[in-house]
Amino acid sequence: MGEENAGRAFLRGSQFGNAGALVGIGISVLLGSVALNLPIVFGGVAMIVFAVLLAFIMPETSFKPTPREQRTTFQHIGHTFRKGVALVHRRRILVMLLIAAAFFGAFSEGFDRLWTPRLLEFTMPYFEPVVWIGMIGAVSLLFNIIATEFVNRRVDTNNQVVVARALQIILALVMALMVMYALAWDFGIALFAILALKPVRGMNYPLATAWMNQHVESPVRATVFSIRNQADAFGQMLGGPVLGAIATLVSLRVEMIVAALLLAPALYVYSRNGVGNMREKMEIREIGETREIAD
């Protein structure tokens, strides 16, 4: 596929994931109208069936295992992990992107767990809450697919400055919409905020992944991506209890405003490292050209 096409592949993969989730939401709403535990049971059974089908549909036909006496599996895993960590330490941009991922994870935990209780504070017309929540999820996914297609066509994922600016706009919008959702006094305003917030927020991950992909070599790419996911999970682990305590002791409104403010460090990272890293590359290129002229 090539690294130059990886960014678009991440965006396209996000769209297919959202399309699958859209189908799942429709099924979940129907089952949830009967009993709230049915979507969970159905999802678990569907995953088991899917895993069994994949074993037959996508077998590893070209896989040639290393003879047992020559295997050094754990040594190889440890070596790859050390190389990935060393690469992160050497490249400032990767450290900064991991920091951004941690703060985004903290925000996500506060949003994902508590946007529904906040919505339930409003009087919802016409339908039961379970139907409204399902419709919000479905419409948000449709908007996300459309927005991702727009980004896929308009944003050059191989240009770090362009990607950084797109991420800045996305995070700024997420922060503004989160505050709007927190302060909404009417169901219509809250509905608008959440329908805009969820798809905009969904574009962060594929773009940030495309940016990180430009700084990682193929042998350790999966390891570095795994470290990024761990940073996100670490942010969720630390941010979740704190934000939950704020929601319990103060209010959901204050919790959501604090969650929005947690994105400020990530916004700063994107604003500083997009242009800064490009300047660094230009300086390195100029030094190389100067040396070539001198030689």
Boundaries of every domain in the chain: 3-58+75-279
With cut-offs at 50, 70 and 90, classify the pLDDT of residue 287: very low
* Average pLDDT taken over every residue of the chain: 77
The pLDDT of residue 83 is 59
132 pLDDT exceeds 70?
Answer: yes
The pLDDT of residue 124 is 80
| 5-61 pLDDT per residue, tens | 555 666 667 667 767 777 777 787 778 778 878 888 888 898 899 889 988 887 776
**Is residue 231 within 8 Å of residue 105, measured between CB atoms?**
yes
pTM above 0.85, yes or no: no
- Inter-axis angle of helices 6-34 and 204-213, nearest 10: 150
CA 226 vs CA 50, 212, 229, 235, 271: distances in Å: 24, 12, 5, 14, 24
- Please compute the mean of the pLDDT values over residues 124-142 and round it to a whole number: 81
106 pLDDT exceeds 50?
Answer: yes
The pLDDT of residue 257 is 94
Domain topology for 3-58+75-279: Growth Hormone; Chain: A; (1.20.1250)
| 238-278 pLDDT per residue, tens | 888 999 999 899 999 999 999 999 999 888 888 876 555 54
